[in-house]
Homo-oligomer: A and B are copies of this chain.
Amino acid sequence: MINKEEIRKKIIVSAGQIFSHYGFKKTTMDEIAKALKMGKSSIYYYFESKEDIFEAVVLYEANVLRNELTTAIKAVESPIEKMRSYVFVRMKSFEKLSNYYNAIFDKNLDHFDFIETIREKYDREELAILRLIIYHGARKKVFNVVNSEYTAMAVQTTLKGLEVPLFWKKKEMNIENRLNAILDVLFYGIVKNK
């Protein structure tokens, strides 16, 4: 029992990347296992089911996002101040959401279907948070690509753009718009401010 918790985390991170690109349904256990260079059955030693992994991913991502926002926002000045408290209120409400998580969880969903499910049952606060989490998933990928000087800049500019997606008018969230939605945040943060 050397590093069971560490391996769990590795699975969460790796699976999270796949989930965030392909969604829950299209992500296979084989794929997750292969990405981890691990036998598929071995994963079941650390998690009970695919849904179990997904839940862990969402919870984990929420936490990473919160931390990232907390520190990043401190490095930014005045005109963002209002947004700052705004985002924090939403952060708090995530705890509430995560309790309902199991109840709303059902098959056939991926990130965006998940949002649609919640949209009907819960208020806009939770919705915004979940959206943030998903955007974060995309941003994380981006941050891995560019080198650190870009990263710093991207974090700040993206944060500046966050207000927009938060208040986004409901867009058609069909398949062909999913990558678009993600890239939109990206663009808004980076292109807009220059």
Contacts and interface: CB of A to CB of B under 8 A. Distances in A.
A90 to B, nearest CB: 24
Given A191-B150, A194-B194, A141 B174 contact: no
Contacts of A178: 21
A175 B35 CA distance: 8
Contacts of A194: 194
**Number of copies of this kind of chain in the complex:** 2
Given A175-B18, A175-B35, A145 B26 contact: no
Contacts of A144: 180
B26 A183 contact: no
Given A35-B174, A150-B191, A190-B190, A184 B145 contact: yes
Nearest to A14: B176
A192 to B, nearest CB: 9
A interface secondary structure, majority: helix
B187 A150 contact: yes
A146 interface: yes
Interface of A: 14, 17-18, 21-22, 26, 31, 35, 138, 141-142, 144-146, 150, 153-154, 174-176, 178-180, 183-184, 186-187, 190-191, 194
Given A142-B183, A145-B183, A22 B18 contact: no
A190 B162 CA distance: 19
Contact of A175 (B21, B175, B191): B21
Nearest to A144: B180
7 A-B pairs closest in CB distance = A17-B176, A145-B180, A145-B184, A26-B26, A141-B179, A146-B187, A21-B179
B141 A180 contact: yes
Contacts of A14: 176
